[in-house]
């Protein structure tokens, strides 16, 4: 059967009939078919979450997952699907998308072990996680903090929350805005978005983190630089 080109970065919703685009018995295709059944998730969000999750899980197993600026929380759910040794995933966003429960229910229908292990907290990240917290209320050492496309300086808030806790972290930054983001002195030599991300990497390293930089496919998103970091002492053990 021939198909129209399947634009990976399209914002069109994956519909139930498009499950036929994912016929294989691979984990990626099984997840995609479940997402199609949910009938509400933009295609781009599935591919972004998948590409980030599999790269993160190659480096970091286990730990409570915190998906900050989570949107539908697909990244959180995928991290549990890819590694069942994480006890739970907490999604934090200032607004819970109305279809978030639909997406999660579709994934739970296929992976019942997710049930009760992905929770959603509606909170503004500018204040969330700063006050002393009970374990489970905010990231702690050994946890894994992730964020896909936390816009502009929100990525820096995510990095700050993770490093303050000594947690592992992975971010896919977007919306580099030189009026709102911290712009390094060397920015005039480089495209400003690259300069801002390099400064993020050097800050992490100065904080004692070992950093791995990667890119997810540009066909999925042009904002495709992935920063994966962990306290250096953890990567040595
Ligand atoms: C571009 S979306 C990314 C959503 C999701 N991570 C993804 O990859 O599809 C940015 C998200 O950040 C959330 N957000 C923006 N500002 C926020 C804030 N101050 N506190 C918490 N969430 C925020 C928005 O509600 C939105 O869901």
Q: What is the CB-side half-sphere exposure of residue 131 using CA atoms within 13 A?
A: 4
Which pair of structure tokens corresponds to residue 236?
């040595």
For the chain, the domain total comes to 1
Determine the pLDDT at residue 5: 58
Pocket test for ligand 1, best of 52, 150, 176, 224 (most atoms within 8 A of CB): 150
CB 192 less than 6 A from any atom of ligand 1: no
Alpha carbon nearest to ligand 1 atom 12, residue: 69
53 located within any domain: yes
H helices within the chain, ranges in order? 27-38, 43-59, 74-82, 100-110, 154-165, 192-206, 232-236
Q: Are 117 and 33 in contact (CB under 8 A)?
A: no
The DSSP output letter for 26 is S
Pocket test for ligand 1, best of 10, 40, 42, 93 (most atoms within 8 A of CB): 93
- Tell me 90's DSSP state: E
Portion of the chain with pLDDT greater than 90, in percent: 87
The whole model's pTM is what? 0.95
- For residue 91, name the pLDDT band (cuts at 50, 70, 90): very high
CB of 180 within 6 A of ligand 1: the answer is: no
Asked if residue 54 belongs to a domain, the reply is yes
91 lines ligand 1 (CB under 6 A): no
Residue at token pair 């991300």: 197
Q: Tell which residue, 10, 73, 5, 19, has the closest CA to residue 43.
A: 10
Residue 174 in any domain: the answer is yes
Give 139-156 pLDDT, tens digit per residue: 999 999 999 999 999 999
State if residue 45 touches ligand 1 by the CB under 6 angstroms criterion: yes
Residue 149 lies in a domain: yes
- What are the backbone dihedrals phi and psi of residue 31, each rounded to the nearest 5 degrees, phi first? -65, -45
Q: Is residue 34 part of a domain?
A: no
Top mutation candidate among 69, 77, 152 for ligand 1, by most atoms within 8 Å of CB = 69
Whether 1 is covered by a domain: the verdict is no
- For residue 204, what are the CA distances in angstroms to 52, 58, 59, 173? 19, 20, 17, 14
**Range(s) of the domain holding residue 163:** 43-236
Instruction: For residue 165, give the CATH number of its domain.
Output: 3.40.50.150
Residue 165 in any domain: the answer is: yes
Euclidean distance between CA atoms 104 and 33, whole angstroms: 13
- In tens, the pLDDT along 170-207 reads 999 999 988 999 899 999 999 999 999 999 999 999 99
Which pLDDT belongs to residue 118?
A: 97
Atom of ligand 1 nearest to the CA of 49: 8
Does any domain span residue 23?
no
- For residue 56, give every residue at least 6 positions away whose Cβ sits within 8 Å of its Cβ, in sequence order, or none: 79, 144, 146, 170, 228
């Amino acid at each position: 059967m021939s198909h129209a080109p399947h634009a990976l970065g399209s914002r069109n919703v994956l519909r139930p009939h498009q499950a036929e685009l994912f016929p294989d018995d691979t984990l990626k295709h099984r997840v995609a078919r479940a997402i199609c059944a949910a009938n509400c998730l933009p295609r781009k969000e599935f591919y972004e979450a998948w590409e980030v999750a599999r790269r993160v899980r190659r480096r970091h197993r286990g730990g409570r997952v915190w998906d900050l600026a989570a949107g539908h929380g697909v990244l959180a759910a995928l991290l549990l699907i890819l590694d069942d040794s994480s006890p739970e995933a907490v999604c934090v966003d200032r607004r819970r998308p109305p279809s978030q429960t639909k997406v999660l229910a579709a994934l739970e229908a296929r992976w019942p072990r997710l049930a009760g292990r992905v929770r959603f907290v509606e909170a503004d990240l500018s204040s969330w996680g700063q006050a002393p917290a009970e374990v489970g209320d905010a990231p702690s050492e050994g946890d894994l903090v992730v964020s896909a496309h936390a816009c502009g300086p929100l990525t820096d808030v995510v990095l700050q929350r993770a490093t303050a806790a000594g947690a592992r972290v992975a971010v896919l930054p977007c919306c580099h805005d030189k009026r709102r983001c911290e712009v390094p002195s060397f920015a005039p030599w480089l495209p400003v978005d690259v300069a801002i991300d390099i400064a993020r990497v050097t800050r992490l390293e100065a904080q004692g983190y070992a950093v791995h930089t990667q890119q997810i496919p540009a066909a999925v998103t042009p904002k495709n630089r992935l920063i994966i970091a962990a306290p250096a002492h953890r990567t040595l053990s």
